[in-house]
Homo-oligomer: A and B are copies of this chain.
Amino acid sequence: MDITKAYRSAKYQVTGHGPREINALHDAVEFAEGRYKVADIYGSGPVIADFEHKISNLCGKEAAVFFPSGTMAQQIALRIWCDRKGVKRVAYHPLCHLEIHEEDGLKKLHGIETILLGEAGRLFTLEDLKAIQVPYSALLIELPQREIGGLLPEWKKLVAITEYCRERGIAIHLDGARLWEAAPYYGKTEKEICALFDTVYVSFYKGIGGIAGAMLLCSESFRSQAKVWKRRHGGDIISLHPYILNAWSNFDRRHGKMERYWESAKEVAALLNESEQLFTKPEIPQTNMFHLVFRVERGIVEEAAVKTVEKFGIGLIPNLRMRDNGELVCELTLGDSIARIPKEDLTKAIVYFNQALDN
């Protein structure tokens, strides 16, 4: 049986907030009731302005632009920085979203070259930055670095990197797709984290669990330029309220729960690490996400996962993929769903799964 199908068919799932169902739109409609009657139109109107204001305030930035996607928001942010600095080159981690998930939009649409910092399997360091020999306009930092298990640089190192860039006139952009999820580890507010960055992108459908949507946080002048590029990209959609309202209602519901999701991740990772057939990356999760790396073959993992679903009704392994480095990996991201699973059953299911991997 297909592992993802088995996972979805289970009574309980260990990851996420639940299936992406269409009736989540009810949230948007209910949220609007009594507050907003009229749709936003081409980026204007109370619905969009109020939400932009709320998030820019929370993050301590002057202005914000709501985007239909992070892909669009980040390409545009880097384009504006390149145009301002006069150099069409940016630096980021080798497994940056723009490098591996966007069909090279940054290069094909904007003609921007990229510098890949350090090595794919680890966070980049100040030393990696110092090794760059060519001029570049901006540095993109992703917090946490998703593709290596959601790793976060230590705060001091992060500060040192941003200071290094600032001294050299290099713009610092935060890929904050999981900023809300990263804040508990640092024990800092989003405002304190964002203060290190010139521009920030945040997302509303990952930890927050909205339908879709992103926001670029920046200065007023940057906002004006971003809105022009948003139109050029075809992102200045006549009305974005279905995404905005759903994002907002879910933000209010889940923004305060990130520490709880993180705790769940640590608990699940500890239980899984009892097995010698796998290890988690990182060993102790730094956010609500981590990667499982298996030491056994795919067939064994699949069988163990499917048997766990059959015996306990609990889905543990939503996905499995072979990385370029030959590692067999599963990404786990914790949310509301795990709280629905009776705790004893979850423990038993993981113990059972671990034992099944030994066979």
Give residues 211-236 of A contacting B (CB, 8 Å). Answer: 211-212, 228-229, 231-236
- Please determine whether B235 and A235 come into contact, CB atoms closer than 8 angstroms: yes
Task: Give the interface centre of A19, A229, A237 by most chain B CB atoms within 10 Å.
Answer: A237
Q: How far is the CB of A343 from chain B (nearest CB, A)?
A: 28
Question: A283 contacts the other chain (Cβ, under 8 Å)?
Answer: no
Question: A164 contacts the other chain (Cβ, under 8 Å)?
Answer: no
Question: A62 contacts the other chain (Cβ, under 8 Å)?
Answer: no
Question: A38 contacts the other chain (Cβ, under 8 Å)?
Answer: yes
Q: How far is the CB of A213 from chain B (nearest CB, A)?
A: 8
CA–CA, A28 and B245, complex, Å: 15
Question: A239 contacts the other chain (Cβ, under 8 Å)?
Answer: yes
CA–CA, A79 and B4, complex, Å: 36
Q: How many copies does the complex hold?
A: 2
B-chain residues with CB within 8 Å of residue A239 when the two chains form the complex: 20, 211-212
Give residues 13-54 of A contacting B (CB, 8 Å). Answer: 19-26, 28-29, 32, 36-39, 41, 47
CA–CA, A256 and B76, complex, Å: 40
- Please determine whether A104 and B232 come into contact, CB atoms closer than 8 angstroms: yes
- Please determine whether A69 and B36 come into contact, CB atoms closer than 8 angstroms: no
B-chain residues with CB within 8 Å of residue A21 when the two chains form the complex: 37-39
CA–CA, A19 and B41, complex, Å: 11
Q: Contacts A109-B110, A242-B25: A69 and B236 contacting too (C-beta < 8 A)?
A: yes
Question: A103 contacts the other chain (Cβ, under 8 Å)?
Answer: yes
- Please determine whether A39 and B22 come into contact, CB atoms closer than 8 angstroms: yes
- Please determine whether A103 and B37 come into contact, CB atoms closer than 8 angstroms: no
Q: How far is the CB of A182 from chain B (nearest CB, A)?
A: 20
- Residue ranges of A at the interface with B (Cβ–Cβ < 8 Å): 19-26, 28-29, 32, 36-39, 41, 47, 67-73, 75, 102-105, 108-110, 205, 211-212, 228-229, 231-243, 245
A-B CB contact pairs (8 Å), 29 listed = A19-B38, A20-B239, A21-B38, A21-B39, A22-B36, A22-B38, A22-B241, A22-B245, A23-B29, A23-B32, A24-B39, A69-B235, A69-B237, A69-B238, A72-B233, A102-B232, A102-B234, A103-B229, A103-B231, A103-B232, A104-B232, A109-B110, A211-B238, A211-B239, A211-B241, A212-B237, A212-B238, A212-B240, A235-B235
